Amino acid sequence: MPTARLSVVVTRRLPEAVETRMKELFNVQLREDDTPMTRAELVEAVSTADVLVPTLTDQIDAGLIAQAGPNMRLIANYGAGVDHIDVATARQRGILVSNTPGVLTDDTADMTMALMLAVIRRMPEGLAIMNEGRWTGWSPTALLGGRVGGRRLGILGMGRIGQAVARRASAFGMQIHYHNRRRLRPEIEDRYEATYWESLDQMVARMDVISINCPHTPSTFHLMNARRLKLMKPDAVIVNTSRGEVIDENALTRMLTAGELAGAGLDVYEHGTDVNPRLRDLPNVVLLPHMGSATREGRAEMGEKVIINIKTFADGHRPPDQVVP
C-alpha cells in the first residue's frame, strides 16, 4: 500500500513535530483541539480509515472494532499500555495492533522515584508550608521523614520500567526485591542485586516500599486488593505509575485514612479522572495527573515509533512493535 495514500486518523492532538511529519507521510486526519474523540467520531474513524492512532483515553473495545470498515488494518497506539484496546478481537478481525514500548521507560522510572522520594521525605507538607508562607525557620524536629537508602523496595512487575526503577533505586542505596510472572535471568538479578519473590504475599509483607510497574491485564486487576494491602507494614508506602486498576483504590483510601499505611504516591487512578476525593486531603499522599511519560523527548519518540510502525506496515511488513494478544 503506498504510504502517501494511507488514510490515518489520529484521535488526540500530538506534539507539533509529530503531526508535521505525519502530514508529510500520510493522508492524515488530525484533531483540532486537545479533547478525546466522541464515540461517534471514533466509529466514523474506524469505519473509514486504514489506520487509527488512538491513545489511552480512547476505548477501542469489541463494540467499536465491530464497526471497523474493510480498510481498517492497523491500530497504531500512541503509548505503551494497550489495556484500552481489545487486542484479541482486533486480531480476529485481521486488524494489527502496535504500541510504543521502550521510549517512555526512563521517564516513567524517573517519575516513580520522584513520587517515592516525595512521599518518604514528606515533600508535599514542606511545599505547603512554603507556598502558604508558614515557614518559621529550621527545626531539629520538623518534617522528619524516612531515610531512603537501606529501605527494601518491592517492585511488582520487573519488565523494562521495573528494571529502570531498580537501577535508579539501587543507586539510592535501596535493597531491590521483585515479583514477576517469570523470574529474571541470574545475570539480570545480579545487575541489581535483586531478590526474587515467587510469593507476592510474602514480598508485600516485608517491604518498606511497593512500586507497581506491571501492565493492567485481567490477571493484574486489583492485584493489590484489600487483603494484600493489609499485608503491608503500617510504615510502608506504595507508589503507582502503571495503571490505577492494579490497586483497589477504595481499599487503599480506607487504609491511608485509617493510618494503616504510611503513604502513597499515585500517578494513575482506578477510575481515570474520577479520583477518590478523600485521597486529596491526606498529607502523606502525593497525587499526579498521569504524567509519568510526559517529557518533550519521550512524547516525540513515541510519535516516531507510531510513524515507524505505520510505515513498516505500509511497506508490507509487520510493525516492529506489534502487540500480540
Binding site for ligand DGY (CB under 6 A): 56, 79-81, 104, 292-293
Q: Which phi and psi angles does 9 have, rounded to 5°? A: -110, 125
CB of 51 to ligand DGY, least distance (A): 18
Q: Which is nearer to ligand DGY, 19 or 83 (CB)?
A: 83
CB of 3 to ligand DGY, least distance (A): 25
Cα gap 221→176, rounded to integer Å: 24
Query: And the C-alpha cell for 34?
Result: 486537545
Q: Which is nearer to ligand DGY, 84 or 183 (CB)?
A: 84
Q: Are 91 and 325 in contact (CB under 8 A)?
A: yes
Give Cα 57 distance to the centre of its chain.
12
Cα gap 11→47, rounded to integer Å: 14
CB of 117 to ligand DGY, least distance (A): 20
CB of 26 to ligand DGY, least distance (A): 21
Q: Are 213 and 158 in contact (CB under 8 A)?
A: yes
Q: Which is nearer to ligand DGY, 80 or 119 (CB)?
A: 80
CB of 149 to ligand DGY, least distance (A): 29
Q: Which is nearer to ligand DGY, 207 or 323 (CB)?
A: 323
Q: Which is nearer to ligand DGY, 29 or 57 (CB)?
A: 57
Q: What type of residue is 74?
A: L
CA diameter of the chain: 70
